[in-house]
Amino acid sequence: MKLTLKIWRQNGANDKGHFKSYDVVANEEMSFLEMLDVLNEELINRKEEPVVFDHDCREGICGACSMVINGKPHGPLRKTTTCQLHMRHFKDGDTIHVEPYRAKAFPVIKDLMVDRTAFDRVIQTGGYISVNTGGAQDANNIPIAQSIAEKSMDAAACIGCGACVAACPNGAAMLFVSAKLNHLNLLPQGEVEKLERTHKMIDRMEKEGFGACSNIGACEVECPKDIQLINIARMNRWYFSSAFAGDQ
């Protein structure tokens, strides 16, 4: 299949950046990243600069493959990362726009690669529990209701890819932060520091320059791991408690 790619080229955070057009021949079995690999090989052969993009696991678990394909983070397929998006979802002759995530808190490093370390700093302020857990316990040593375990596990599926921020017209990171908070706060081990954690992580989120959620819900639709808005509602409740509680 023949494709025309309009790829965003930007030489560092301070460069203005622009779209550049490339023709590439791909086949339907390729993943989107493999298609970019093909393009890059050609560029290298032609002694041109290859397109810089972020990737690691290529199996949908690391969250590195951040890019916006035709206006959607991770492309048109729902619940799929770019690395797991295959070219059969495009048609011969398609023109595809590929650009980096656009958010103040995620500055472009080069071309399609953005700096998502703002997420790491949010995690550093509270994405852990402060007790030594020791060796693995026997299963069911701590009784946890199935329904609670499920909610926590659903939230734990977040791979920190940042698609939620990229999709959000407000550049908000609430879906990500709420996923991390629900993951830990719902379980007995994490509950002890629930309010403190909530407060710290949200505080950091704001300092990093992420926007304020207005419940548009594009994050939920674009999230490759199907993290739900209900996590944000729960996070808000914890945040209200952490702000209004008499003591903690």
Partner 1 sequence: MSWLSNFLTSAIGRKLVMSLTGLFLIVFLLIHLTGNIMILIPDEGASFSGFVEAMESNPVIKVMSIVLILGFVIHIIQGILLYFKNRHSKGGKYAVIAKDNATWASKNMALLGTIIFLFLIIHFMDFFIPMKVLKEYGHHQLYHKVIAAFQNPVYVVLYVIGMISLGFHLAHGFQSAFQTLGVNNEKYSPFIKKLGMLYSIIVPLLFALIPVVVFLTHQK
Binding positions for ligand SF4, rule: CB under 6 A: 63, 158-164, 175-176, 179, 223-225, 227
Distances (CA, A) of 94 to 5, 35, 41: 8, 14, 21
Q: What is the largest CA-CA distance in the chain?
A: 66
38: number of Cβ within 10 Å: 15
Q: Which does 163 bind (CB under 5 to 8 A by kind): ligand FES, partner 1, ligand SF4, none?
A: ligand SF4
Residue 17: CA count within 13 A, CB half-sphere:
20
Dihedral sign for Cα atoms in the order 57, 58, 60, 64: positive
For the bound state, the minimum distance from the C-beta of residue 59 to ligand FES, rounded and expressed in Å, comes to: 6
Interface residue with partner 1, options 24, 103, 113, 179 (CB under 8 A)? 103
Q: Which is nearer to ligand SF4, 39 or 84 (CB)?
A: 84
List, in order, residues 6 or more apart from 209 with CB less than 8 Å away. 104, 105, 118, 171
Interface residue with ligand FES, options 44, 57, 153, 192 (CB under 6 A)? 57
Q: Which of 244, 245, 128 is closest to 197 using CA atoms?
A: 128
Q: Is 60 in the site for partner 1 (CB under 8 A)?
A: no
234: number of Cβ within 10 Å: 18
Q: Which is nearer to ligand FES, 26 or 83 (CB)?
A: 83
Q: Is 62 in the site for ligand FES (CB under 6 A)?
A: yes
Q: Which does 152 bind (CB under 5 to 8 A by kind): ligand FES, ligand SF4, partner 1, none?
A: none
Q: Is 88 in the site for partner 1 (CB under 8 A)?
A: no
Q: Which is nearer to ligand SF4, 38 or 156 (CB)?
A: 156
Distances (CA, A) of 204 to 81, 123, 168, 207: 26, 9, 18, 5
Q: Is 202 in the site for ligand FES (CB under 6 A)?
A: no
Q: Which of 163, 188, 185 is closest to 175 using CA atoms?
A: 163
List phi, psi (to 5°) of 3: -130, 150
Q: Is 214 in the site for partner 1 (CB under 8 A)?
A: yes
Choices 5-13, 51-59, 104-112, 123-131 (CB under 6 A): range interacting with ligand FES? 51-59
Beta bridge partners of 128: none
| Binding region for ligand FES (CB under 6 A) | 55-58, 60-65, 81-83
Q: Report the interface residues with partner 1, using CB under 8 A.
A: 6, 19, 68, 70-72, 97, 99, 102-105, 167-172, 202-203, 205-206, 209-218, 221-222, 229-230, 232-234, 236-237, 239-240, 243-244
